[in-house]
Chains A and B, each alone.
Chain A
Amino acid sequence: MQDALFYLFAFLTLGFGLMVFANPFSLNPVTSAMFLVLTIGSLAGLFVLLHAFFLAAVQVLVYAGAVMVLFLFVIMLLDLKEEARRKFRRVAVGAGLISVGAIIWIFLTSLSQTRLTGSQPPTLEGGTIPLGKLLFTNYLLPFEIVSLLLLVAMVGVVLLSKKDLR
């Protein structure tokens, strides 16, 4: 049952991920944003299968709920109309396919030649309490630095969106 769910979510994730940039429906970036939201949702399903429940919730809340909404706000703000000249340059598509195919080939070859499964069966439960304990004891310094990073990002955004730097 869990294997069937894994294959379903993996297929959905890869399918929606492909549709983010290669959808045959419309040339609008809103379509890509919608497919990215669906990809993030199916990725949250994969996180649940890996028993990372807190991260699945964080993924849906923060990534799909805040980051993608920010993307859609900006797309709506920019009001792009001239996406009509989407001509795929053949050289770029060919070179992209060749290089990405080479990366996939290297990755699959190296994966098939290593023994990955550890000795003990997986028993890790990524709940909120163990993660919170680890976050506030071992990783306290990165936690505080990340809060400072968010402050810096906010100041940067306010500065970058000023009309005239006076």
Chain B
Amino acid sequence: MHVGLEHYLVVSGLLFCLGLLGVIVRRNLLVIYMSLELMLNAANLALVAFSRFNNNLDGQVFVFFIVTVAAAEVSVGLALIVALYRTHRTAHVEDLTTMKL
């Protein structure tokens, strides 16, 4: 059947839920961060699909900004992970229990 907006939104929603599952299930900091990037990409896909099917270019400008902000966020987040690894020597979420009650 002809591919419409709903197909792209289903793909975007499923990709977002896969990223969410990755954040919940995996215990390695880097894989959690990669699943977070997957969620951002799913939102990008939804925005581009809406922009195409509503004939409005604003969605693509938004995606442009999201990609830029995600790049800045990844660099800062990875610097944080490297600083954390220097003091704790671990990248496993279950070892980071300083703020636990």
State the interface size on chain A (CB cutoff 8 A).
81
Cross-interface CB contact of B11 among A10, A82, A139, cutoff 8 Å = A10
**Interface membership of chain B positions 58-85, coded 1 if the CB is closer than 8 angstroms to chain A and 0 otherwise:** 1011011101111111111011111101
In contact, A126 and B67 (Cβ under 8 angstroms): no
Given A104-B13, A149-B72, the answer on whether A161 and B82 have CB atoms closer than 8 Å is yes
In contact, B3 and A32 (Cβ under 8 angstroms): no
In contact, A160 and B76 (Cβ under 8 angstroms): yes
CB B72 to nearest CB in A, in angstroms, measures 4
Binding site for B on A (CB under 8 A): 2-3, 6, 10, 13-14, 17-18, 20-22, 29, 32-33, 36, 39-40, 43, 46-47, 50-52, 54-55, 58-59, 62-63, 66-67, 70-71, 74-75, 77-78, 80, 82-83, 85-86, 88, 92-93, 95-97, 99-100, 103-104, 107-108, 111, 116-118, 120, 122-124, 126, 130-131, 134-135, 138-139, 142, 146, 149-150, 152-154, 156-157, 160-161, 163
